[in-house]
Structure 1
Amino acid sequence: MSTLVNVPKNGSLATTNSNVNFPTWSNWLDDIFNRDLPSVFTSNFNPGISLPKVNIKENADSYRVEMAVPGLKKSDFQIDLDNQVLSISTTKKEESEEAKENFTRREFGYASFKRTFSLPETVAEDKIEASYNEGILSIHLPKKEAAKQKPARRIKIS
């Protein structure tokens, strides 16, 4: 493939490809998978669990980490704390087999993710709690007493 570079009088570069009418390998493969294969092959493809989004909220007494991960069970999660690094991960394997007189069909899938967060020193690590309800994993990170915001008060002058 030859590429010609024209330099116009204003100094900018304009690229001209002499093989414009020939598809590239990636375009050709995209066309095959997006147009030529029956939709039964492409519609059943599951790339796995994507990296879930996380909301982190802070109030005077604690932090709360909320992660939307529907379709899992609480036993699917592993939450670890090591040297002020909180790790949330899951691994899910699915297998199914259908055996009939003339054929056997096996399907399997594997999906996983891992999110890690560096915790501030103000978190009371021994009081961290987690719950999973209706597709939301919620982790409560209470602050140490010394780090909690004290209410404003008025000081009298003597």
Structure 2
Amino acid sequence: MSVPARREARGMFPDLFDLFEMPLTALRPFTGQTGQVIRVEDAVEDDRYVVRAEMPGIDPEKDLEISVSRDVLTLHAERHESREGRRHSEFRYGSYERHIRLPDNIKEDEIKATYDKGIVTITMPFAEQKETTRRVPIES
């Protein structure tokens, strides 16, 4: 039996590799996540916070939304399936979403995003850090 035929024969049982890839998939409804998870990497580069996300096979102008609210960056994408002349596909389709907590000192009005070869790069400059510690007097 060929690999695609074996996969089709399993029917509704999940693929073992899918379970290892997303180990807490069954808990997602309880965590507030919707859709499939977007894989990301982040780093501080040249006084900027940079987030890169894997999003192959989408049209960034139609299928991608990036928003910031209350120090949380939200990435939401839709990947649509085309069934033209195809019997078997292992691609993932549907809704993808990721929420990323941002550092406090990000200049939200200067966030920029680019899409190249399936990777979304979001660059966020840091604002100057102001001294936020203040001594609180104690009354007796």
Flag whether TM exceeds 0.5 (same fold). Answer: yes
Identity between Structure 1 and Structure 2 (%): 27
Correspondence 1:125 to 2:108 = yes
Q: Deviations over 1:75-122 (max 9, x none)?
A: 211111111111001122325467xxxxxx9xxx85111100111221
Task: State the match for 2:134 in structure 1.
Answer: none
Residue from 70, 78, 81 that aligns with 1:91: 78
TM-score, scaled to structure 2: 0.58
Residue from 28, 48, 52 that aligns with 1:66: 52
Separation of aligned partners in 2, 1:50 and 1:140: 23
Task: State the match for 1:156 in structure 2.
Answer: none
* 1:136 Cα deviation from its structure 2 partner: 0.6
Greater RCO, CA 8 A, separation 6+: 2
Task: State the match for 1:41 in structure 2.
Answer: 8
CA RMSD of aligned residues (A): 3.7
Alignment-mate amino acid for residue 83 of structure 1: R
**4+ aligned runs moved over 3 Å, structure 1:** 37-40, 95-98
- Between structures 1 and 2, the one with greater strand share: 1
Separation of aligned partners in 1, 2:6 and 2:73: 41
Residue 121 to residue 51, structure 1, CA distance change in 2 (3 Å): same
How many pairs were matched up? 103
Correspondence 1:142 to 2:125 = yes
Question: What are structure 2's unaligned runs of at least 5 residues?
Answer: 19-34, 131-140
Residue from 49, 52, 57 that aligns with 2:43: 57
Task: State the match for 1:81 in structure 2.
Answer: 68
Question: What are structure 1's unaligned runs of at least 5 residues?
Answer: 1-33, 99-104, 149-158
